Structure 1
Amino acid sequence: MIKQSWNGIQNFWKEEDGIGTLEMVLIIAVILIIALAFKSKITEVVDNMLKYMGQKSEEFKA
């Protein structure tokens, strides 16, 4: 009886189902925290890239 309980506990501990989901949630949470921390810098970089692409497309039209 004790041996069966111990084996059940060991099997439960070794079971890794669902670990992938937890890891994905943690990774997404870290990415969101980083994005929020650097929100202004990210916005500035994206705005500059869009302005640059707009200027280049205007040059291409001309």
Structure 2
Amino acid sequence: MRRKFNKLKKLWKDTSGMGTVEMILIIVVLIGLVLIFKTQIRELAATIFEKISADSAAILS
């Protein structure tokens, strides 16, 4: 378990080829996309959960 944690920690800290500015830009773009498509994302999630509920009810019946 400790070995996996150390590998994950090392991978997280490894920034070869990726600078701070690039990371910030990626985060800003992702936040912007979420804000722009917030309604559509919520509708999609609601539809998916409705289908999951209906299918699980059909399976359990």
- What's the CA shift for 1:26? 0.7
- What's the CA shift for 1:38? 0.8
Distance (whole Å) between structure 1 residues aligned to residue 31 and residue 56 of structure 2: 32
Letter in 2 for 1:45: L
Provide TM-score, normalisation by structure 2.
0.67
Name segments (4+ residues, structure 1) moved above 6 Å.
none
Letter in 1 for 2:51: Y
Larger Rg: 1
Distance (whole Å) between structure 2 residues aligned to residue 40 and residue 29 of structure 1: 19
Distance (whole Å) between structure 2 residues aligned to residue 61 and residue 21 of structure 1: 50
Provide TM-score, normalisation by structure 1.
0.66
- What's the CA shift for 1:25? 1.2
Structure 1 unpaired stretches of 5+: 1-16
**Structure 2 partner of 1:46:** 45
Structure 2 unpaired stretches of 5+: 1-15
**Structure 1 partner of 2:28:** 29
Distance (whole Å) between structure 2 residues aligned to residue 29 and residue 45 of structure 1: 22
